[in-house]
């Protein structure tokens, strides 16, 4: 079983480290080195009120395995080497005889690495490090040491004692100790191939399942709790791996290595969102740097205590494990389960699934919805969810919605969702996963001339597929020209542009001529009129492509009372479609006020 803890730099100074040959040599750039120095310099440890602890700066994990009297470094040698160089510089330039202990660092590929590291110095005459190009590792190491020197040299007002204290005592690493039974090369390969990155989820899991963290617990009882947690953890992860569930609770693709981390992240976000200290500072009008610094002596915000970097969530959960008891591990896990079960409850409720799914898709954060759920009954919450959709469309005039304008995509999306929801006897659901993964677009039902781009060699075929003569086509000269092109299957260079607008008719960018389509379907018929689009759409559905229900309905002319011509998208069809949208979405859209003159 892996062991996880958080260690300050000064605790590492007593260790011996070994860098195995499968790791790449030291390659940190000047920017990486200076970024670390800048972060440490800017970090200000804060007293955590009502405790004897201070906030601390967190470095990324170091993965190690115990071997006799040294630690085999599986991952993190770049950080360790840089830490060593900064400690060595502090000793060389500041400490005199009261030097800090330096940990031993040996590279398997460079037997002389320890001696080189311990003897690297600043040349007093040249005021710089003599770059050693004996091998590539020594070159990068000496260059990094020179970068450290130049950074300190250019900060005349730096309090060296304060910097040393912040680095040695207030800078910590996430210490991830693997089991002696684990194969080091296999672990290294998996970490660096991205298969098991040390994410917040991986680190939090170790908090729950590492028995050595719970010395005060009843071990038999603890083991049963841990077995239960491990099983439930896998079930939660399995549920979240279902894209139907995952894209219901995520606005867009969310590439987390383990999806359960999403639960931990929203718990931390919800905690920061509900932070009473933030509200109290607003009430007290604490806004200036001076006032904030004074207030921090009394109380820290959650973000001030745990940060906002990639490991903030882990530090937030790490703080929950203080008593080292089986009760503590049980209670912490129940809190996580409760959060997941609430999301699962929403997913299982057909109405909430559709309405919450819509809100998340248009950008309402899941943690804000969770926050507003906390003090509401189920009836109150359902009503509140509907109100959020109504509020989103408060200033929308459906008559003025046009292609490439605000709200058009949201209106079409909600029309599809509410159409499915209105069928109480149907169990089917709107596929948020397909909507987000397949990048559905807003597209014209009947193409408009300014958007049509057809290659010269395909123009005659396009005309054959898309021209349907109607009462609007009364220009006999153009009709004769089209007949000639179709008969001879040939078109002159300028003839296509001359007749394009005539063939397609008046341009219509309004809502009555717009629908949702997946990007693949959209691109396959973007240039087509209604007749050819309808044919291709039917073909793609036969092949298994999912077609949004409202898009399918309109191309099948289910909204039209009198279908006079299945190949034409005429004014009656457009009005019927628009009226259907207005009727279905009536509960969410603003009520139109009638003037006295009407």
Residue 416 lies in a domain: yes
- Paired with 70 in beta bridges are 67
Whether 547 and 541 have beta carbons less than 8 Å apart is answered as yes
| Percentage, residues of the chain above pLDDT 70 | 93
CA dihedral sign, ordered 452, 456, 457, 462: positive
C-alpha 180/C-alpha 595 separation (Å) is 81
Taking only the tens place, the pLDDT of each residue in 483-497 is: 887 778 877 767 777
C-alpha 189/C-alpha 234 separation (Å) is 23
Taking only the tens place, the pLDDT of each residue in 559-580 is: 988 777 788 888 888 899 999 9
Mean pLDDT, residues 443-454: 80
Of 504, 548, 510, nearest in space to 528 by CA: 504
| pTM over cut 0.75 | yes
Is residue 2's pLDDT more than 70? no
CA dihedral sign, ordered 272, 274, 275, 278: positive
Residue 427 lies in a domain: yes
Mean pLDDT, residues 202-216: 75
C-alpha 135/C-alpha 437 separation (Å) is 48
- Residues 435, 462 within the same domain: no
Question: Greater confidence, 1 or 298?
Answer: 298
Question: Greater confidence, 181 or 311?
Answer: 311
DSSP type of residue 433: H
Is residue 98's pLDDT more than 90? no
Mean pLDDT, residues 128-135: 83
Strands (E), 207-293: none
Mean pLDDT, residues 297-314: 90
- Residues 145, 63 within the same domain: yes
Is residue 220's pLDDT more than 70? yes
Is residue 598's pLDDT more than 50? no
Helix (H, G, I), strand (E, B) or coil at 531: helix
- Residues 494, 546 within the same domain: no
Residue 511 CB burial class (10 angstroms; 0-12, 13-18, ≥19): buried
Residue 376 lies in a domain: no
Whether 26 and 120 have beta carbons less than 8 Å apart is answered as no
Question: Greater confidence, 521 or 450?
Answer: 450
Q: What is the CA radius of gyration of the chain?
A: 33
- Residues 461, 564 within the same domain: no
Is residue 296's pLDDT more than 50? yes
Domain boundary among 348, 381, 404: 348
Residue 205 lies in a domain: no
CB contact burial 270-291 (16+ within 10 A = b; e otherwise): bebeebebeeebeeeebeeeee
Domain boundary among 507, 527, 555: 507
Is residue 597's pLDDT more than 60? no
Q: What is the reported pLDDT for 27? A: 85
Mean pLDDT, residues 312-327: 84
Domain count, the chain: 4
Tell me which residue range forms the domain holding 81. 3-198
Q: From the CB of residue 534, how many other CB atoms can be counted at a distance below 10 Å? A: 20
| Percentage, residues of the chain above pLDDT 90 | 44
Q: What is the reported pLDDT for 195? A: 47
- Paired with 63 in beta bridges are 75, 176
Residue 169 lies in a domain: yes
Domain boundary among 330, 348, 366: 348
Q: What is the reported pLDDT for 595? A: 38
Residue 416: pLDDT band with limits 50, 70, 90: very high
DSSP type of residue 94: I
Residue 521: pLDDT band with limits 50, 70, 90: low
C-alpha 353/C-alpha 248 separation (Å) is 7
- Residues 491, 525 within the same domain: no
- Residues 103, 167 within the same domain: yes
Mean pLDDT, residues 260-273: 93
Write out the H or E segment, with its range, that includes residue 168: helix 160-168
Range with lowest mean pLDDT among 99-103, 423-427, 468-472:
468-472
Is residue 596's pLDDT more than 50? no
DSSP type of residue 573: H
Write out 197-214 in H/E/C secondary structure: CCCHHHHHHHHHHCHHHC
Write out 325-380 in H/E/C secondary structure: CHHHHHHHHHHHHHHHHHHHHHHHCHHHHHHHHHHHHCCCCHHHHHHHHCCCCHHH
- Residues 517, 503 within the same domain: no
149, 152, 306, 321 from 57: Cα distances, Å? 22, 19, 9, 19
Q: What is the reported pLDDT for 50? A: 76
Mean pLDDT, residues 37-57: 88
Residue 339: pLDDT band with limits 50, 70, 90: very high
Question: Greater confidence, 406 or 531?
Answer: 406
- Residues 340, 470 within the same domain: no
Whether 465 and 580 have beta carbons less than 8 Å apart is answered as no
- Bridge-based pairing of strands 16-19 and 104-107 is parallel
Helix (H, G, I), strand (E, B) or coil at 175: strand
- Residues 567, 499 within the same domain: no
Q: From the CB of residue 587, how many other CB atoms can be counted at a distance below 10 Å? A: 10
Residue 171 lies in a domain: yes
Question: Greater confidence, 95 or 235?
Answer: 235
Taking only the tens place, the pLDDT of each residue in 160-199 is: 999 999 999 999 998 888 877 776 667 666 666 554 457 8
- Residues 460, 579 within the same domain: no
The mean pLDDT value of the chain amounts to: 86
Whether 4 and 210 have beta carbons less than 8 Å apart is answered as yes
Residue 206 lies in a domain: no
C-alpha 87/C-alpha 85 separation (Å) is 6
- Residues 232, 95 within the same domain: no
Residue 312 lies in a domain: yes
- Residues 335, 302 within the same domain: yes
Q: What is the reported pLDDT for 424? A: 83
How is residue 550 written in tokens? 């409202």
Q: From the CB of residue 331, how many other CB atoms can be counted at a distance below 10 Å? A: 12
C-alpha 457/C-alpha 489 separation (Å) is 10
Question: Greater confidence, 34 or 484?
Answer: 34
Is residue 355's pLDDT more than 90? yes
């Amino acid at each position: 079983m892996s062991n996880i803890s958080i260690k300050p730099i000064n605790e590492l100074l007593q260790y011996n480290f070994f860098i195995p040959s499968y790791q790449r040599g030291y390659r940190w750039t000047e920017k990486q080195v200076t970024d670390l120095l800048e972060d440490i310099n800017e970090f200000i440890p804060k007293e955590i009120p009502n405790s004897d602890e201070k906030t601390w700066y967190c470095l990324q994990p170091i993965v190690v395995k115990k071997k006799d009297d040294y630690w085999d470094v599986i991952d993190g040698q770049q950080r360790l080497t840089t830490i060593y160089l900064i400690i060595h510089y502090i000793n060389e330039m500041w400490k005199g005889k009261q030097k800090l202990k330096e940990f031993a660092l040996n590279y398997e590929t460079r037997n002389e690495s320890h001696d080189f590291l311990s003897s690297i110095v600043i040349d007093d005459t040249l005021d710089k490090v003599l770059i050693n190009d004996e091998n590539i590792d020594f070159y990068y190491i000496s260059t990094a040491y020179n970068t450290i020197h130049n950074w300190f040299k250019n900060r005349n007002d730096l309090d060296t004692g304060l910097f040393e204290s912040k680095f040695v005592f207030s800078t910590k690493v996430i210490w991830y100790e693997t089991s002696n039974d684990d194969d080091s090369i296999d672990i290294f390969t998996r970490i660096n191939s991205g298969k098991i990155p040390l994410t917040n989820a991986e680190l939090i899991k170790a908090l729950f399942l590492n028995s050595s963290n719970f010395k005060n617990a009843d071990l038999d009882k603890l083991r049963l709790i841990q077995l239960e947690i491990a099983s439930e953890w896998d079930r939660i992860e399995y549920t979240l791996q279902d894209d139907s569930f995952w894209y219901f609770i995520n606005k867009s693709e969310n590439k987390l290595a383990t999806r359960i981390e999403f639960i931990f992240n929203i718990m931390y976000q919800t905690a920061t969102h509900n932070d009473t200290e933030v509200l109290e500072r607003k009430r007290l009008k604490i806004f200036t740097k001076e006032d904030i610094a004074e207030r921090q002596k009394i109380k820290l915000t959650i973000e001030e205590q745990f940060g906002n970097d990639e490991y903030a969530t882990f530090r937030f959960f790490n703080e929950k494990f203080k008593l080292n008891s089986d009760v503590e591990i049980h209670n912490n896990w129940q809190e996580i389960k409760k959060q997941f079960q609430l999301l699962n409850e929403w997913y299982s409720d057909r109405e909430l699934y559709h309405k919450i799914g819509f809100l998340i898709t248009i950008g309402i954060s899941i943690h804000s919805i969770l926050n507003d759920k906390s003090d509401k009954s189920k009836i109150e919450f359902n009503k509140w969810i509907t109100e959020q959709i109504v509020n989103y469309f408060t200033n929308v005039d459906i008559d003025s919605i046009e292609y490439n304008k605000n709200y058009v995509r949201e209106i079409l999306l909600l029309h599809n969702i509410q159409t499915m929801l209105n069928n109480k006897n149907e169990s089917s659901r709107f596929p948020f996963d397909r909507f987000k993964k397949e990048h559905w677009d807003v597209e014209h039902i009947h193409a408009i001339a300014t958007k049509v781009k057809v290659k010269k060699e395909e123009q005659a075929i396009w005309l054959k597929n898309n021209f349907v003569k109607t009462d609007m086509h009364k220009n006999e000269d153009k009709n004769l020209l089209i007949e000639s092109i179709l008969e001879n299957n040939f078109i002159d260079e300028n003839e296509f542009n001359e007749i394009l607008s005539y063939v397609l008719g008046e341009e219509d960018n309004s809502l009555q001529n717009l629908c949702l389509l997946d990007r693949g379907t959209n691109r396959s018929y973007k240039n087509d009129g209604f007749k050819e689009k309808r044919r291709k759409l039917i073909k793609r559905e036969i092949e298994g492509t999912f077609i949004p229900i409202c898009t399918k309905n309109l191309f099948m002319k289910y909204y039209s009372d009198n279908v006079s011509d299945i190949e034409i998208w005429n004014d009656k069809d457009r009005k019927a479609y628009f009226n259907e949208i207005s009727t279905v979405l009536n509960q969410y859209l603003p009520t139109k006020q009638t003037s006295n003159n009407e």
